[in-house]
Amino acid sequence: MYSSLFNLGTIDDHILNIRNQMCGEIDGVPASEIIGANVDSLAAEFSAKFQVACPLLLPKEIYCEEPAFTGGHEEVSVRVHLPFSGHHQLFKLSGGSAPIISQPIEIYPGELVFSFRLEKNKLDQLHPRVLAVAGRIKEGLASIQQKLEFYNPDLKKWAVQKIEERKAHLVLQ
């Protein structure tokens, strides 16, 4: 699954969707549980469930597949695996700014995979090029992380508001 990073939507829209999902689940809680619930603890449960973890690159765990050397060719392709923790879907989103990354990058749960073509006698240039790409990816994640530092704590406020609205509505019935 080839994909360019940071260009298929915004973290703002993603968080709005998550918040709507959370509110939908709160609407699905039985009325008796809502009426008898401690609003703060129920809101904490829901907000914890819907927290979003920004991916964290694990550059010390980078590994490369062995290049296949072919006679008669001066270049070789090297596939690089860049592990990470966190939600892989966030690599597709923008936090408002995104770096330019020219090579196609495959996004999988737990790792990004990309390739470099290098001349056989210049394989020593691979490591700095990999670190440069990892650095640009980290730049793209920084704006997402900044937004999540605001949005994740805000989820509890939204949960409290939704639970209190639902509780008030149920009491009036």
Helix (H, G, I), strand (E, B), or coil: what is residue 50? coil
What is the residue whose two structure tokens read 């070789």?
76
pLDDT in tens, 56-89: 999 999 999 988 777 777 888 899 999 999 989 9
Distance of CA 28 to the CA centre of its chain: 27
**Per-residue DSSP letter, 58:** -
Residue type, 138: K
Cβ atoms of 115 and 82 closer than 8 Å: no
pLDDT in tens, 98-153: 888 888 999 999 999 999 988 888 888 999 999 999 999 999 999 999 999 999 99
Residue type, 40: D
Q: Which helix (H) or strand (E) holds 18?
A: helix 11-27
Q: What is the reported pLDDT for 49?
A: 96
Cβ atoms of 28 and 166 closer than 8 Å: no
Q: Are strands 105-108 and 111-119 parallel, antiparallel or unpaired?
A: antiparallel
Structure tokens that stand for 56 in this block: 């964290």
Distance of CA 126 to the CA centre of its chain: 26
State yes or no: pLDDT of 3 exceeds 70: no
